[in-house]
Structure 1
Amino acid sequence: MERNFAPVIVFSFSKKDCEAYALQMSKLDFNTEEEKSLVDEVFNNAIDALSDEDKKLPQVEAVLPLLRKGIGIHHGGLLPLLKETIEILFSEGLLKALFATETFAMGLNMPARTVLFTSARKFDGKDFRWVTSGEYIQMSGRAGRRGIDDRGIVILMVDEKMSPQAGKQIVKGLPDYLNSAFHLTYNMVLNLLRVEEINPEYMLERSFYQFQNYAAIPDLFDKLRKMEVKYGAIEVPNEDHVSAYYKIRQQLDNLGSDLLTFIQKPQYLLPFLQPGRLVKIKNGNDDFGWTVVVNIQKKSNQSKSTQDSGPVYVAEVLAHLTKECARSRNSANIKPCPAGERGEMQVIPVLSHLIQQISAVRLYIPQDLRPLDNRQSVLKSIQEVEKRFPDGVPLIDPIEDMGIKEKGLQRMCQEAFEHRMYSHPLHKDPKLEELYQLYERKAKVGADIKNLKTELKKKKSLLQMDELKCRKRVLRRLGYCTASDVIEMKGRVACEISSGDELLMTELLFNGVFNDLSVQQCCALVSCFVFDEKANEMPKLTETLSGPLRIMQDTARRIARVSREAKIDVDEEQYVESFRPHMMDIVNAWCNGCTFGQICKMTEVFEGIIIRCMRRLEETLRQMCQASKAIGNTELENKFAEGIRRIKRDIVFAASLYL
């Protein structure tokens, strides 16, 4: 405000953060008395259409004091009426600081002078990642109004370590590519089968998705030609012999890594990790060589992966590090000391899977490892052991010493032994390493050529063709169409439903599930198809609602099983859980005449999300009316029409301010 950089949009990737930041600013006041009276006027006119009870909603009452001070909040959880009011106030210059999620950057002409990002990371539904350059361009583009400002200011708050590459990618990267999001749905397939002169295959071939696929073919051809030229240019003397030797070495490497997975199992490894034991440590490209075990610790696994649910074992080892690493407190900077340089011995923690070899040798280690001299004396002992065994430090035998009885391991050891014993003519050739590296380079180019040819084959084929065949198989098995792709009654009904899972809803209609339910129960059950937000805990439903829910879940399981039999990759439990019952009791209460304030107290879901869900529910109920009409069930059609009449009231369906 002091530098005349207002208005400012503060982008935050969480609805709760937007509200928390705005409340922290509530002590500041950016508006004059005249501006405050204008805010009051706009706000009161906007909420004039609401009932007296809705005007007292916590969200409506809480937002006005902030708006009067020139502070606004904009996110998907706000009541649509409040969202539109805030957009109008911002466009009129009555809001100086707006805390918004990225939705504000989409499709609204709301430029500001300054844009601020509270974080450079966002959660994309699976993991936290850096914002893409496309997202950054879209949001930062709000800063600076053409013809009014000579510049726009963008402030990116980076509260964690960011690599220069990641920073450059965000600020100077390319816009997001326009990639087709075309995907098949049962509704689409059925509607295309209905039309005589067109079929789903025709649609697939002429989609933008397929066009993009064909467009990539010329580039792949060029790449393949260059690769083949490169492959032909690499000449390896005595190639047949080198090739045979390369395959043996590769097989041995694979056997070695398989052998290592057995050795690294805690039940075999832990008895040998006593203090003083020599172990070889390797972390990616960093080879620490022989280190000495000092201690072993068992820790709980923090990994989200369900496969690695057991405890984690961390070995504390004395390793030879560069002096800078040894004195640094940052664990990310741990690097081994290169050969020939003077470094320092330091105790470092390593996960048990980084142990590559276990020696049969144990060294004496001083009790107190804090003095540098004591630690360096251990380095001298390691060097002495290496001198004493010029052919390599003796290792613990996996079968004889560790007692590993797995048949797979014994076979592996046997094969490894046979390969080692294999007397190859190149084995003692002085130029062996040079020839091996040359052939390795050629083999890598050959593997790239093979991958390119596979990709080209995919690009030339019609994408999603296999998926289409599988979906048609499901439709035939469930009786939606005949073997010759003629639509049955079930198929005509499913054609009417597009805003929910058409198969499951049609199955429920034909199984007569809705016939025995009341209007309220029908609306509550249909709400499972339209609510897709995250909710923390499952609601405690009464028997009147949990009964229909169980029937729906059983039907969903049957559809998932048929889909799996038709070779569609679907997880049964995941499919069932995609129909969320979190709005059932709320929709039931709303249909029974509860006020909006009362249903808001029943859930932690934001008010705006409840309204969005109700509006989608009304659209789905309309489609269910059409589906009932297609069957010829007038009673059911009237039931869904009554459901629409019950939910379409008060603030939930208040008219837009833009109309």
Structure 2
Amino acid sequence: MSDGMELFDVFAEGSGSLSSGTTIKQEPVDNAAIQKAEMNKRKQKESRERANQLLGQLSTGAAADKDIRITSSDGDDEAEDTEILPKRPKTETNAEEFPGLASHPRNNIKIVETEGNCSHEVVLPPNMEYVPLKPRTTAPAKMYEFQLDAFQREAITCIDNSHSVLVSAHTSAGKTVVALYAIAMSLRDKQRVIYTSPIKALSNQKYRELEEEFGDVGLMTGDNTLNPDASCIVMTTEILRSMLYRGSEIMREVGWVIFDEIHYMRDKERGVVWEETIILLSDTVHYVFLSATIPNARQFADWVVYLHDQPVHVIYTDYRPVPLQHFIYPAGGSGLYEVVNMQGNFREDKFTEAMNVLSQVGDAGQGGITRGKKGGTAGTSHVVNIIRTLKERDMIPVIIFSFSRKECEAYATQMTNLDFNTEDEKAKVKEIFVNAISLLSEEDSKLPEIGRVLPLLLRGIGVHHSGLLPIVKEVIEILFGEGLIKTLFATETFSMGLNMPARTVLFTSARKFDGKDYRWITSGEYIQMSGRAGRRGKDDRGLVILMVDQQMGQDVAKQIIKGAPDPLNSQFRLTYNMVLNLLRVEGINPEYMLESSFYQFQNYDALPQLYENVEKKKKELAACKIDRETEISGYYQMEKQIDVLKEAVKEIVTKPKHLVPFLQAGRLIHIVSNDKDFGWAALLDFHKKANPVDPLGSDVMYVLDVLLFLSAESAKNLSDITQLRPPNENEKGIVEVVSVAISCVSEISAARVKLPQNLKAYEGKQSAGRVIKEVLKRFNGIMPLLDPLNDMKIRDAVLQENIIKLQALEKRKESHPLRENSKFDEIYKQYEKKLELEAELKVAKTELKKAQSLLQLDELKCRKRVLRRLQYCDENDVITQKGRVSCEVSAADELMLTEMMFGGIFTELATPQLAALLSCFVFEEKAGGSKLADDLSGCLRAMQEYARRIARVTKESKLEIDEDKYVESFKPHLMDVVHAWCTGSSFAEILKKTDVFEGSIIRCMRRLEELLREMVGASKAIGNRDLETRFEEARVLLKRDIVFTASLYL
């Protein structure tokens, strides 16, 4: 019996008539798709030949290196193996030949002269010569009532010549002007145009704008479909991808595709959708890419030219229509410090003044709500004071960015004594709010969440984050756009896409929690949010204020405020839905998608530099000649043996059962952490805490509070222990109390010191430091250690044996003949440098080898293996009935849902239970969970068992997976909420069941409705009317009242 059949038997329990043994023929597509596929085949063949030529020449330069093999994988003789980059015979050549090579056929680059503050480059296919753009001789497709900026004029000229264009400019610079012109030209020329937006909310807003301007506009987001036969259709990128996979008739008529916010392609979760879409689009389509400033705009255009064999123009400007001033507000201070002026110059004197203020008030972090730890709301008074000052100086409206939804609301509720609106403005706010809320039922309109927000809005204060009710969030957007909200507390999502600038932007913290740790915000994040400051045509300048509540180095501040924008790097990853869809369509395959990805392109692009790096390291290594190298090598190996034995001794000695009896206050211990030697420290105290790896287990950790010498710079930020450093060689250092794990103890001294009483005060800590230094001086820096055998009385045979070996090696080391050589230290350093170069060469070769391979090919093989074993496709990569179902599911885990469908679990559940179970696939937030009813916990356990089975098959197919994490990724926290909703409970009633934000509940239910629609389609694809009806019934139960209130933009 084959692997596939054996495993299918495990999953097929209760599968009824849903046999997966049926093979589905690959689907024919329309002629345009077939032509595209044939062209893709030719391109694939050409690119393989180019890659083979390159790899053959590359392997030449590495002929002497047996560890560099030009292969596409680790070798696997299973049926699914497909060699994309075959091995080439190695031939002799010189490294100097490499600069003439290219990782792909080099496109032509032409720099076009421009007027004004923008740059214009055009990337052309290798076989195409540059022809200057023709000036427009007819009336423009669209007239503007204002003078266009240089970058807008350049981009519009490209569009007039039917050339694709990438426009990279700051937020609010006016990129939309270019998109509007492309739409106007398409409508004039009777072509269809697609406008893609990264998220549904932006699509709705953009639809409203374009419909008012052009009229002939439709919308397709999954949630809403309006006027789908329109000449201009606004849609999410996911919808466009789905249309391409299905060979939609609409795509035949499309002349232009506009990708708004293309920098979203670097999003880890959804960036792959952009890559798939751009790869799948026809070569006959022209493109307008709108992006925030990205440093590698030309590389992206280079990739598009490589894919579609047409010129792409890159119009770039870092010009801001409204210049920005950047200020720092130090917590505890009383003023703002201009650190970057309107000319973009960093003012070091003002930055130093701001940091001095922090030093004076202490680095206790008494200023923001977040300061690298959870903290409270101590910084609210500072925010209130800043906003009051901004109001007095007419520097509003202001957007206050905070990195927590709860903090946004906490700040807003503290604005009790501030009122920004006149009576007339209050009346307008109330009118807009009442009109919007009238769309709700009487019961929903009385929700406490709605009642709480109106008093704030009347005073011109708003809150904007993803946890709000969608209708409330849209009201706030409309009011802010109308100038009726003067102070808006928002999370960073407000900075993405929405064109809603303000006079001032205020950051409540320079640090954020990224899901793993607290860190400084990046320059890219700062650029995106600070770009909302300054309204074109209204403000002569925009103000950006960064609240800082702990010391930050000048280099950190410069990197945040003056740093370069984040590059556009590929986030391409394989999914089962992608693989199956590519197997389903004739003429294209998953390997082609891999080879065509921006991910692969960027790696190919790096080949010349990587090869040069290998050659450079080789030359440096060849030039490194060591006198008496054999003897030095022996001495070096002996030192390494000593280090290993010392570590083995330390591991036994520092076990709590041996070390704890000697942890008295004042004991001097040697601290080493993360390869940083902090020297001798004085122990103050120790305590036990639960092991974070297994918090419920019996194992505990010991944490020591020690007086430690630190560099003055790193001591400014004790909250970030990862950046703590010992003092430099000639630095006095600062003594601070730091908590360290017991594993950081390298040696334990026999000496103890008497410590001062007051160690909280600065002077007390420095006095203790002087005592430690005096003891070290007395022993000439060589501290007497507790003997593990005689003093600590450790009885351990392995320890005793290691100590004997260590003593013998130390004796040999001291008497080694090389130590008599006067140049010993110099020769030894040279040898260490050579070893360092050898290690660097090994890394360089590994990086080169990785870039030469078709990345992720091995993962593709493993994924195909999973699909075969679960019978989603056969040995010839023809998809089966199960594969057909999976092709229909992209909103959630397609394998889990397909296995559960064929396993019969959905047929056994009542409709509300069915909806509740599926909520586990679409809810992603962390939340506390209440005890589930028996019927829900039973189906949850059944689902978790399916997850474990799939994880086991994945492991057997040689794909890395953490079984527990995979099972836990299906979150049951809203199961009872969804079940109650589907049995008729009101929204007010289900809110009592959870502490999850209202907006998060609605977002989960809307995603659930989208998943149910896909499950209806999946059931229909295999002709299962019963399941189709059940999923449709669940969708009907779900889709009611406030959860599915229409967008105000529609």
Q: TM-score, normalised by structure 1?
A: 0.88
Aligned ranges for residues 253-652 of structure 1 at < 5 Å?
Answer: 253-272=643-662, 288=679, 297-301=685-689, 304=692, 306=694, 310-312=700-702, 314=704, 352-358=742-748, 395-399=785-789, 402-404=792-794, 408-410=798-800, 412-413=802-803, 415-417=805-807, 419-420=809-810, 421=812, 424-536=816-928, 538-652=929-1043
Distance 1:193 1:257, change over 3 A: same
The 2-side partners of 1:535 and 1:345 are apart by 41
Distance 1:90 1:312, change over 3 A: same
1:2 aligns with 2:402: no
Distance 1:302 1:101, change over 3 A: farther
2:613 to 212, 223, 227: 223
2:465 to 55, 72, 75: 75
Equivalent pair of 1:345/1:379 in contact (CA under 8 Å):
no
1:233 aligns with 2:623: yes
1:655 aligns with 2:1043: no
**What SS does structure 1 have at the residue aligned with 2:871?**
coil
Residues 198-235 of structure 1: CA distance to partner in whole angstroms, max 9, x if unpaired? 22112111111111121222222222333333333333
1:95 to 475, 485, 490: 485
**What SS does structure 1 have at the residue aligned with 2:409?**
helix
The one-letter code sitting in structure 1 at the alignment partner of 2:1018 is A
The 2-side partners of 1:347 and 1:613 are apart by 46
**What SS does structure 2 have at the residue aligned with 1:243?**
helix
The 2-side partners of 1:91 and 1:376 are apart by 61
Equivalent pair of 1:315/1:352 in contact (CA under 8 Å):
no
The 1-side partners of 2:537 and 2:756 are apart by 72
Distance 1:104 1:260, change over 3 A: same
The one-letter code sitting in structure 1 at the alignment partner of 2:842 is K
Partner of 1:61: 451
- Structure 2: gaps (5+ residues): 1-390, 759-763
1:210 aligns with 2:600: yes
> Structure 1 vs Structure 2: percent identity of aligned residues?
54
1:425 Cα offset (Å): 3.8
Partner of 1:183: 573
1:357 Cα offset (Å): 3.5
The one-letter code sitting in structure 2 at the alignment partner of 1:637 is E
1:482 Cα offset (Å): 2.1
The 1-side partners of 2:725 and 2:494 are apart by 44
Equivalent pair of 1:288/1:336 in contact (CA under 8 Å):
no
The 2-side partners of 1:586 and 1:618 are apart by 15
Partner of 1:243: 633
CA RMSD of aligned residues (A): 3.6
Residues 308-366 of structure 1: CA distance to partner in whole angstroms, max 9, x if unpaired? 9624253768x9x89x99xx9x9999978989x9999999987654544445x668x77
More helix as a share of residues: 1
Equivalent pair of 1:346/1:375 in contact (CA under 8 Å):
no
Distance 1:54 1:356, change over 3 A: closer
1:238 Cα offset (Å): 2.4
1:236 Cα offset (Å): 2.2
Distance 1:236 1:150, change over 3 A: same
Distance 1:643 1:277, change over 3 A: closer
1:287 Cα offset (Å): 5.8
**What SS does structure 1 have at the residue aligned with 2:392?**
coil
Partner of 2:517: 127
The 2-side partners of 1:505 and 1:86 are apart by 38
Equivalent pair of 1:263/1:269 in contact (CA under 8 Å):
yes
**What SS does structure 2 have at the residue aligned with 1:427?**
helix
The 1-side partners of 2:581 and 2:543 are apart by 50
1:485 Cα offset (Å): 2.3
The 2-side partners of 1:151 and 1:167 are apart by 21
Q: Which region of structure 1 is more displaced relative to structure 2, 628-637 or 480-489?
A: 480-489
1:107 Cα offset (Å): 0.4
The 2-side partners of 1:374 and 1:17 are apart by 40
Partner of 2:99: none
The one-letter code sitting in structure 1 at the alignment partner of 2:688 is S
Partner of 2:539: 149
Q: TM-score, normalised by structure 2?
A: 0.57
Distance 1:13 1:303, change over 3 A: farther
1:589 Cα offset (Å): 1.6
1:473 Cα offset (Å): 1.7
1:140 Cα offset (Å): 0.5
Distance 1:477 1:22, change over 3 A: same
The one-letter code sitting in structure 2 at the alignment partner of 1:532 is E
The 2-side partners of 1:649 and 1:369 are apart by 67
- Structure 1: gaps (5+ residues): none
2:421 to 31, 56, 63: 31
The one-letter code sitting in structure 2 at the alignment partner of 1:632 is G
1:104 aligns with 2:464: no
1:165 Cα offset (Å): 2.4
Count of residue pairs the alignment pairs up: 643
Residues 615-642 of structure 1: CA distance to partner in whole angstroms, max 9, x if unpaired? 1111100111111122321011011111
The one-letter code sitting in structure 2 at the alignment partner of 1:299 is H
**What SS does structure 1 have at the residue aligned with 2:627?**
coil
Partner of 1:117: 507
1:136 Cα offset (Å): 0.5
Equivalent pair of 1:227/1:449 in contact (CA under 8 Å):
yes
The one-letter code sitting in structure 1 at the alignment partner of 2:1006 is R
